[in-house]
Structure 1
């Protein structure tokens, strides 16, 4: 409160983090300027120091979602690997590491898109970008485009299903099941070295 009395207005990230929390907990309708001001313990005018209007902070949330989830996913599919199994383990890092991919944010964005034609169109584009990255991952490992598309679709829609249902599966159990998922998605079982390296990253 002492900082507030001296005119401290917070930072854009402080307000954006509060907007994120409201979006996750209550959906886009919960992201209101008054609610944000209350969450950060500041006045409404302090919000306007950083954002021109409510739509600006909503746009910033969408930008954060794209930068974090989509950019990281594409990067993970492009990491050097000796096999398709190793590549998919890199992708699976996203499903286990919130610093790489925020499933709650993806869920919130997908719900929000049901009430916004503009965001729904952007979500369609983003899903296509992610799918293209997965298809290319399979192609790089020798799959023809039809096989790559079918397998990439299966991988991606399986995860979208996890997100849509907000599956809460113990991390240890999910890590243990992932080698079997990989065999299902690729037709080949990962090597023990690949499995061990993946488990070492997450357990």
Structure 2
């Protein structure tokens, strides 16, 4: 009854997406345990009535947050990349977007660390699979056979995840400021094959 009264008296000034973004910020700092309604309400400067206007409970907020993360950090980036006609530049667009935000990198690692929770595990798996599938499509567009395209996609994605881990665990190991762009260019040159180039695994087998 108290919740219903609060909802009736207070039309929310925040959207569901505002709450979802705040929950994602909390995950960056404290993992899944950092998502709690009262602290989020205080941070946003509203009462809990605003929360219950949009969500039935904390689980609903967590799901909405994960859906927003998957959309923003995967589907929106893929949609933007699909608008790039040249396959090589399409892959570059993905890499630059993926490495553009330190916050999003920390968020991904926080979610991966919470992947024992089945709610999170399902989203992390789907996002990872979607990214790998799209990268494979991009590498096939370069003219690589399906098997080799998958190898390059896996190589690229695992390198990206390694950079995220290093950025969190030992940020001073990565070049600062403008020098990071040089590092990113090196990654792109290494991870996008030229015409006729074989994936690393194939080179090793040939050797």
When normalised by structure 2's length, the TM-score is: 0.75
Question: Partners in 1 of 2:83 and 2:177 — Cα distance?
Answer: 23
Q: Which residue of 2 aligns with 1:140?
A: 141
Change (3 A) 1:62 1:173: same
1:128 CA drift (Å): 1.1
Structure 2's unaligned 5+ residue stretches are 1-8, 196-207
Change (3 A) 1:118 1:56: closer
Q: Which residue of 1 aligns with 2:154?
A: 153
Per-residue CA deviation, residues 121-142 of structure 1 (Å, 9 max, x unaligned), is 3322221111010011011110
1:77 CA drift (Å): 4.2
Checking the alignment, whether the CA contact within 8 Å between 1:27 and 1:112 is kept in structure 2 is yes
* Aligned ranges 1:1-203 → 2 under 5 Å: 7-11=10-14, 12-84=16-88, 86-98=89-101, 102-113=104-115, 115-167=116-168, 168=171, 169=174, 170-188=176-194
Over the aligned positions, Cα root-mean-square deviation in angstroms equals 2.6
Change (3 A) 1:17 1:118: closer
Per-residue CA deviation, residues 140-185 of structure 1 (Å, 9 max, x unaligned), is 1101112111111111111112223334442422211233323322
Per-residue CA deviation, residues 45-77 of structure 1 (Å, 9 max, x unaligned), is 332122111111101110111101111332344
> In the comparison of the two structures, how many residue pairs are matched?
181
When normalised by structure 1's length, the TM-score is: 0.77
Question: Partners in 1 of 2:141 and 2:109 — Cα distance?
Answer: 30
Checking the alignment, whether the CA contact within 8 Å between 2:63 and 2:119 is kept in structure 1 is no
Checking the alignment, whether the CA contact within 8 Å between 1:9 and 1:46 is kept in structure 2 is yes
Structure 1's unaligned 5+ residue stretches are 1-5, 190-203
Checking the alignment, whether the CA contact within 8 Å between 1:110 and 1:123 is kept in structure 2 is yes
1:27 CA drift (Å): 1.2
Runs of 4+ in structure 1 off by over 4 angstroms are none
Q: Which residue of 2 aligns with 1:195?
A: none
Question: Partners in 1 of 2:192 and 2:22 — Cα distance?
Answer: 41
